[in-house]
Amino acid sequence: MSSIVRTNVNEEYAYSEIVEAGDFVFLSFCVGNVGASIENHVHGALNDMEKRLEKINLSLCNVVKMDVLLKDVWNIPIMEKVFKERFGSVYPARKTIQTEFAHIGGPDGLHVQIDAIAYKK
């Protein structure tokens, strides 16, 4: 395996946004449109993911696995609607988890976070 490349390392919160290891790319903490509607929040997280993937010449089509963290699991149908729009029928494997977020936005802040694994070849 070639070397492991860590990009956009966040020293304050101790994580890397992108980690490339062999043929796999790991993306953490994809968020966006914090404070907006859940639908816009999901779009924002996917936009964030897309921007990161573009930096290494990949796209959402390369995503093979996602872990979606939602503040309220009853928003899964909204999330799925957005995924149908954004992924077409090329869906990654997915796990969805409900969690409380400790985020500076408080109760009206972060509602969606997505971590992903993409395949490079």
Residue extents of the structural domains in the chain: 5-119
Query: What is 5-119's CATH number?
Result: 3.30.1330.40
Give the per-residue pLDDT at 35: 85
CA-CA distances (angstroms) from residue 60 to 65, 66, 76, 88?
11, 11, 19, 10
Nearest to 67 by CA among 112, 103, 22, 104: 112
pTM, to two decimals: 0.91
Q: What is the per-residue pLDDT across 53-83, written as a single tens digit (0 to 9) for each?
A: 999 999 999 999 999 999 999 999 999 999 9
Query: Which pLDDT tens digit goes with each residue over 94-114?
Result: 999 998 876 666 667 789 999
CA distance 46 to 34: 13
